[in-house]
Amino acid sequence: MLKNSIGITNFVLLMSVLMFLLFHLPFYRYVFGNIDYTGFHGILLIISLMLLMLLANAFALYLIFSLSRIVGKFLLGLFFMLNAVAVYFVMTYNVIIDESMIGNLLNTNYEESSSFFSFTLVLYVLILGIIPCIYIIKVRIVSVSWKRFLKTSSLALLFMLVLVFANASNWLWIDKNSKRLGGLAMPWSYTVNTSLFYIHKYQKNRKEILLPDATIADNEKSVVVLVIGESARSGNFSLYGYGKDTNPLLSKEDNLYHFNATSCATYTTAGVKCILEHTDSNQLYEILPNYLYRNDVEVVWRTTNWGEPPVHIKNYQRREDLKPGCTGPGCDYDEVLLTGLKEQILASTKNKILIVLHTSTSHGPTYSKKYPPQFEAFTPVCNSVELGNCSHEELINAYDNTILYTDFILSRIIENLKTLNGYKSTMIFVSDHGESLGEKNLYMHGMPMSLAPKEQYEVPFIVWVSDSSQKLKPETTLSQNHVFHSVLHFLNVQTPVYNEGMNIFE
C-alpha cells in the first residue's frame, strides 16, 4: 500500500519505475526485435538501457522536485497524462513520436484531432494518467539536505556515465536506431522533439545576413552543376591514388581535375553549410543558391539527403518529387537526381544556371544498400548495420562500391553537360565530410575536428570543365569555401564579396 508520506529519493525512484512499467513496452519491444539478446553485447545493452531509463527519469525528477515541489508535481502529472496519450498512439497506430510527428501534431486542426478520440483513449488516460496523478497530488514528499542532494545527484550522474561508456561497442547500434529509440522513450520523445521542432523552426525562419547585391557581367550561357557528396573520403578514390579502380569512368575524362581538400566539419549540417557559404563562420550568411537566385540566376536544388541551411528558391526538388518522372531500377538510388536534368536546363529562360545535387550515396552504416546490385564489383561486402561485426575487407568493399557508383553518377552528369550545345559548363563535386571505416576502431563520422582522424575530413574536390581552354589554378589543398567563389567566377557574377584568392579557375 502506498504511503501518504515518502522521502524524495524513494518517491522519484517509485515514479521512474512506474513510468518504466507503464510506458516503455513499445521501446523494449523494438529493442528485443532488433538486437541479438542471446549474446553478451546484447544482454549488456538491454540491461544498460533499462538502468539508464530508470536513472535518467529519476535523476531529472530528483532535480525538479528538489527545486520546487509544486512545479515538480505539475510537470510529473503532465508527463503521466501526455505519456498515456503518446503510448496510446504508439500502440494503436504504430507511430514514432519524432520531430516530424510533433510537427504534424502541432499543425493539426481541431476537426482532424477530434477524429482520433475513442473509448480506448479515455481508458489509457484514466488508468495510465489520471489515477497516478491522484497519488502524485496527495502524497507528501519529504526533502533531504543539500549535502545529501549533491551526493545523490553526483553518484547517479557518475553511474549513468559509466553505463554509457561500458556500452562503447554498442554505440553504432544506438546511433543507427537513435531516431526510433528516441521516439519511443517517454517522456523524452515528445519533450526533446518538441524543443527540436521549435528550434529548427526558428532557424528556418531566422533572417539570413544578406550579402551585397550582385550583377551578371555577360550574357554567355553558362551552367554549373554542384554535386554535394555524402561521407565520401578522398582516400578511396583511385583518382587520388587508391589501389582499387573505383573511378574507371572519371579517369578517362578529359578536362577533369582533382584537388586535395578538407572539410570544415565532420557532420553533414556544418559541412554543407560551409560548401554553400563564402566563409567559414558561425553566422547564417546568405548561402550560394539563395544569393544567386536573388540576383537573377536560375537555381535548381535536387536532394535525396537533408541537413542543408534554409534554401529559399523556387525549384527545390526532393526524391519524391523526381520519382514520378523516373524510370528504371536506378530511381531507387541517387540516379533519381538526374531525372530530366538536361531537359530542365534547356527549358530555362536564363543564361546563368546553378544546379545543386545533394546526394546520400556513401552514408553508412548501410553502405551495401546505397547502390544498385550491378555496382557490387568488390566482394564480399558488409550487409550488417553493426559494422564491428563485419571484417575490415567486407566493410571496405561495401564502401568502395558506393564510390564506384558515385563515379558512374558523376560520369553521367558530365555526359549530359557535353550535349548542351551553346553552353559553357562545369561540374564540381565536393563531399560534406569523410568517413571512418574501422581505422583506430572508429566508424562513420561526427568526431570533433580537434580529435577527428584524417579519414573524416579529407574529402574529394573534383572538377570537370567543358572547354579545354578553361584552365584551373595549380592549387595544393582547397577548402569547401572555395566552391562559393569559384561558382561566382564561372558564372561571371560580380559582387564585392567575391574573393579571387578562393577561386579555382584561372
Q: Is 272 helix (H, G, I), strand (E, B) or coil?
A: helix
Dump pLDDT digits (tens) for 276-306.
Answer: 999 988 788 999 999 999 999 999 999 998 8
Mean pLDDT, rounded, for 28-43: 80
Contact yes or no for 229/430 (Cβ under 8 A): yes
- List % helix, strand, coil for the chain (3-state, nearest 5): 55, 15, 35
Which residues face 306 on adjacent strands? Answer: none
Whole-number Cα distances in Å, 180 to 90, 93, 174, 199, 231: 11, 15, 10, 20, 22
Dump pLDDT digits (tens) for 312-342.
Answer: 999 999 999 999 999 988 999 999 999 999 9
User: What amino acid occupies position 439?
Assistant: E
- Which of the residue ranges 143-147, 253-257, 357-361 would you say has the lowest mean pLDDT? 143-147
Which pLDDT does position 100 carry in this prediction? 56
Of 397, 417, 411, 403, the residue nearest 465 (C-alpha): 417
Contact yes or no for 411/375 (Cβ under 8 A): no
Dump pLDDT digits (tens) for 158-184.
Answer: 888 887 887 776 777 777 777 778 888
Which pLDDT does position 30 carry in this prediction? 84
Contact yes or no for 209/286 (Cβ under 8 A): yes
Of 94 and 460, more confident: 460
Query: What share of the chain has pLDDT > 70, as a percent?
Result: 92
pLDDT of residue 205 exceeding 80, the answer is: no
Ordered structural domains, the chain, with CATH: 5-205 (no CATH), 227-502 (3.40.720.10)
pLDDT of residue 197 exceeding 80, the answer is: no
Dump pLDDT digits (tens) for 74-114.
Answer: 999 999 999 998 888 777 656 678 765 676 566 544 444 55
Which pLDDT does position 157 carry in this prediction? 86
DSSP state of 130: I
The rounded distance, in Å, linking the Cα atoms of 364 and 176 is: 9
